[in-house]
Amino acid sequence: MLLAQFVLSRYLYIYTYLLISVVILIHNNYTYLIQLKGGEFPSLRYSDEETERLLAQAYAAIPPRAGKRGTRNLKRQRRRWEMKRQYDATKKQERMEEHVRRMAKRHEISQAMYTIRVEAGDLRERERVYQMGVVERWAARNGVVSSSSREGGVAKMET
């Protein structure tokens, strides 16, 4: 069954379907369907053998397709996968650089903590000496006498 379409103007289309002619008029967003004529001849009926013969004849008239199928599709897919691989490689490189930056920062923190731990003993000793100096100056100002027999500290108050 063949459906032919003829464009007559911007608004008028004629469709021919079998022997029935139909005019579809589209104007101002309204569709008008007008049947001009048709139905004058009875539809043709073919036997099964005749139908098979006509189908075989029609299929034989179709020329064989030459060349490889899907060449453009394969090129498009190859290009698409290449772009995806490039994108993935870029993202992997970015992740690796981010990892290197993160590890460098973590190493700096680790080095700082190690340095603090190594210097902590000396720092505690300097802090203890400083605090004792502050206490001794305070004691000298306020009349507190430190004991020479006891090391590091205020022994008793003068009365």
Is residue 11 one of the residues assigned to a domain?
Answer: yes
pLDDT at 144: 78
Query: What's residue 29's pLDDT?
Result: 66
pTM: 0.38
Q: Is 54 contained in some domain?
A: no
Residues counted in the chain? 159
Range of the domain at 9: 1-39
**108 lies in some domain:** yes
The vertex-17 CA angle with 53 and 26, nearest 5°, equals 155
- Contact yes or no for 19/2 (Cβ under 8 A): no
One digit per residue, the tens of pLDDT, for the chain of length 159 reads: 333 344 434 444 444 443 445 555 555 666 665 655 666 666 778 889 999 999 999 999 998 888 777 788 889 999 999 999 999 999 999 999 999 999 999 999 999 999 999 989 888 999 999 999 999 999 989 887 655 545 555 555 554
Residue 103 lies in a domain: yes
What does the pLDDT read at residue 114? 94
Query: How far is it, in rounded angstroms, from Cα 14 to Cα 128?
Result: 106
From CA 65, how far away is CA 7, in angstroms rounded? 31
In a domain, 2, yes or no: yes
DSSP class of residue 97 equals H
What is residue 71's predicted lDDT score, i.e. its pLDDT?
83
